Structure 1
Amino acid sequence: MDSRQQFDTPRAACALHCAVAPADLAALAPLRARLRAALADWGLAELADTAELLASELVTNALLHTGAGAVLDAAPTGAGGLLVEVRDEGGGLPAPRSADADATSGRGLLLVEALADRWGVRLRADGKTAWFELRI
């Protein structure tokens, strides 16, 4: 069964909220640091490497493919895991694609699909929310 669920997002109370301005790729390093610190505070430090990578991929996709900013929300789940959501103003559903061996991009959603326990995309009237869940 495909772990990607396009319209079903487990909602958790927002515990970390980060807005990223359009085209501000330099904001990714501080965003990763804030996420890592939050995970340590929540007792989820063992998820930090994977969470940082996947969050960076989703935010980068939002910035590069929408021409707008992005908003990241992250929160621990009741089941000892993490939920990360990235909202943007882009339309349509992103999908993993194959990248040729020499490509420098195109692997982000493949990483999300491979490393997240669950992930998906929810369409909204003003864009979409891509999300992933990691479990200990």
Structure 2
Amino acid sequence: MERKVQEADLSAVADVRRELRRMLSRWDAPSHGDISDVASLLISELVTNALVHTTGGAVVTATVTDRLRVEVRDCATTRPEPRAPTGDGTSGRGLFLVRTLADAWGVRTHGLGKSVWFELGGPA
């Protein structure tokens, strides 16, 4: 799956989540259990972060081999840092959830920005 999300198009988050669920429904890997709920939550958080905290939109890719790998690429060079959620619960959860729920995650910089990624479904 690869999808371009336009700048500030927060309505696209639900579309990306549905696309990922469709892709995962075809993944024949019973030993990995049902990771759709966690994957949907984490992709929503990363896409939302890219759209809220950067400009230029994002490119979302998801691939499945023996595990699921999702990358959200944007044009910002600033590396995201996990922080404590705010008292009102409206921000600060995204990377905390990714760090807590993903089997592996990270940030990869490239010439025009960065990719924030996570993996689910088995050992790294």
Calculate the TM-score normalised by the size of structure 2. Answer: 0.90
| One-letter code aligned to 1:26 | S
Q: Distance in 2 between matches of 1:29 and 1:99?
A: 22
Matches within 5 A, 1:111-126: 111-126=97-112
Q: Distance in 2 between matches of 1:97 and 1:68?
A: 24
Equivalent in the alignment of 1:97: 83
| One-letter code aligned to 2:75 | E
Identity %: 51
Ranked by relative contact order (alpha carbons within 8 Å, sequence separation 6 or more), the top structure is 1
Any idea what SS the aligned residue of 1:97 has? coil
Any idea what SS the aligned residue of 1:18 has? strand
1:72–1:87 contact (8 Å) kept in structure 2:
yes
Identify the match of residue 54 of structure 1 among 32, 42, 64: 42
Select between 42-51 and 25-34 the one with higher mean Cα deviation: 42-51
Listed as ranges, the gaps of 5+ residues in structure 2 are none
Calculate the TM-score normalised by the size of structure 1. Answer: 0.83
Equivalent in the alignment of 1:73: 61
Between Structure 1 and Structure 2, how many residues are aligned?
119
Q: Deviations over 1:48-106 (max 9, x none)?
A: 111111011111111111122011100112xx310001100011211100123223111
Listed as ranges, the gaps of 5+ residues in structure 1 are 1-15
